[in-house]
Amino acid sequence: MVIESFSEIAGILNAHPEPAALLSLDYEILAANESYTQLYGGDQRILSRKCFEVSHGYAVPCDQAGESCPLKRCSETGKKQRVLHLHNTCHGEEHVDVEMTPIKNEAGEVIYFLEKMHLVKEAAASPSGLGMVGRSKAFNTMLEMIQRAAPSEISVLLLGESGTGKELVAQAIHQASRRSKGAFVTVECSGLTESLFESELFGHEKGSFTGAISRKQGLVAAARGGTLFLDEVGDIPLSLQVKLLRLIESGTYRTVGGIEPQHADFRLVCATHKSLKTMVAEGRFRQDLYYRISAFPIDLPRLAERKEDLKLLANTLLKRIPGGEAVAISSKALRALGLYAFPGNVRELRNILERAVLFADGGVIEPEHLPSEVFESPSEVDSVPCQTILPLTQVEDDYLRWVLSHYQGENRDLAIQLGVSERTLYRKIKALNTKNKDFLLK
C-alpha cells in the first residue's frame, strides 16, 4: 500500500468500521479510529503508546513475550501479515484477528504499518453461556484455522476424537460465514441405511415407496443458502458414498421417486473421528470423495492437549448445566481433574460436572464429589515410561536436541511452537551448543 499523505491515512482509518490504527516502525500508535480508541483506550490515552502495551499489557514486543508479532514479520517480509491474538480490551480478554499491512512511500520504503482488527465473536476467552471457549495455544491454533476457512466456500473436514466439540466448531464456521443467515442442517451419518440415507438427504415423493404417504423435503433442500454438516462422515457405507460424491460434484440431486433434477446450494462441512486416509488405503472410503470433502482439514485438539483451558471450560460448563450456575469448583477438585487423561474429552468433563453438581450440597465441587475413575485411571504423566528420575534440565536438553534434529524451519517459528520467546530459544540453543556442537544458531 502506497500512501501520499497523512490525511489520506486518517481517511482510511475512519472509513474502516472495525478497530484500526496507524503504527510507527517502532510500535508506536500514531493514529487510531474511534472503534480502536473505544475498544482499547476507554478513558485512557492511547496515542504515542506502544501497541503491545495497549493490546497485551506487555512491556516488550509480542515476539519477545513468546507470541508471533505481525509487525515484526511484516517489517521483515514487506508483506501483509495476519495472526490471531488474545487482546486485553474494555470487555476483558478477547480473541482478535489482526491484519498488519506495510505502508510505503513513493520510493517503496516502509514508513508506517496499518493494523486492522476483527473481533472473533464465535469464541470467548472467559466463561460464556454460548459457543466455544478457550485460550490455550492448541485452541487458538484451531480457532485461527476456523477464521481462515469460514469466509470462503471451501469444504471443511473436522478431525477429532469423540467429545472434542466437532458440531460446535461446525456451527462456529457457519456463524462466521456469509451463509450465517441461512440454515445450519446436521446429518447424523451413523446407522443410516441406503434407503433411509437417500430419503433423509434428498427427500422423497408421495408414493415413491411403501409408507411414503406424502412428499417430504430432504435435508439438502433444507440447507439451501446455508450449511450442510455431515457428522461422522466416515460411517457412510461405501455403497452410498458415490451418491454423496455425485451431489458434491454436480450440485444436483433427485428426490426418491422424483424425475426432475434439483439444484443444491449449501456449504459443506464434514466431521469424523476416524482416519479417512487409512480407510481410503483399505478400500473402505472412496479416494475421490475424500479429496472432495477434505479441501480444508482442521484438527480439533484433545482436552489433554489443552489442559490450561480446564478451569475455563469447567466454569463455562457449570454456567450451562442446569443447577450449575450457583455451584463453584474448588482448586483441589481442579487439580484432581488436571491429572486425569479425559479419554472422553470435553463431553466427559461435562458429564463429570453434571454428576458432581448433584453432590455439591455446599455449593462447591470438592474432590470427593468426582467419580472414582478420575482417581483410578492412570494420568498422562503416569503413562510416560521412566525407569529413573531425571533432572529437569537433562529432560529439557534431550527434548531440545530432538526438536532441533527434526525441525527444518526458522527459529522464530519454532519459538512460537515451543511457547517461548525467540530470545529465550536462542539462549537455550547457545547453552546447548556449549555441551554439543552439532546444533547451529539459525
pLDDT tens digits, 272-288: 999 999 999 999 999 99
Whether residue 401 has pLDDT greater than 80: no
pLDDT at 307 over 80: yes
Q: Which residues contact 26 (CB under 8 A, 6 or more apart)?
A: none
Q: Taking residues 111-129, what's their average pLDDT?
A: 93
Q: Which residues of 42-57 are buried (b: 16+ CB within 10 A; e: fewer)?
A: eeeebeeebbbbbbbe
Position 54 pLDDT exceeds 90: yes
CA dihedral of residues 258, 262, 268, 272 (deg, nearest 10) = 10
Q: Which three cell numbers stand for residue 336?
A: 484432581
Cα–Cα distance for residue pair 166/159, rounded to 1 Å? 8
Residue with cell 521412566: 386
Q: Nearest 10 degrees: CA dihedral of 205, 207, 210, 214?
A: 60
Residue matched to cell numbers 481433574: 337
What are the residues whose beta carbons fall under 8 Å from the beta carbon of 399, sequence distance 6 or more?
none
DSSP state, residue 367: G
DSSP 180-249: TTS-EEEEE-TT--HHHHHHHHHEE-TTSSTT--S-EE-HHHHTTTEEEEEETGGGS-HHHHHHHHHHHH
Return the CATH number of the domain spanning residue range 150-299: 3.40.50.300
- pTM higher than the cut 0.85: no
Angle between helices 331-338 and 310-320 (to 10 degrees): 120
Q: Is 11 helix (H, G, I), strand (E, B) or coil?
A: helix
Q: Where are the domains of the chain?
A: 6-119, 150-299, 303-376, 392-435
CATH topology of domain 303-376: Helicase, Ruva Protein; domain 3 (1.10.8)
- The chain-wide mean pLDDT, for the chain, equals 88
The residue to which cell 556442537 is assigned: 437
Half-sphere exposure of 13 (CA within 13 A, CB side): 24
At 437, the pLDDT band (50, 70, 90 cuts) reads: very low
For the domain 6-119, what is the CATH code?
3.30.450.20
Q: Residue 210 — very low, low, confident or very high, per pLDDT cuts 50/70/90?
A: low
User: For the chain, what percentages of helix, strand and coil (3-state, to nearest 5) are there?
Assistant: 40, 20, 40
Q: How confident is the model at residue 408 (pLDDT cuts 50, 70, 90)?
A: low
The predicted structure's pLDDT at residue 381: 47
**Type and span of the H or E element at 387:** none
For residue 50, what pLDDT is reported? Answer: 95
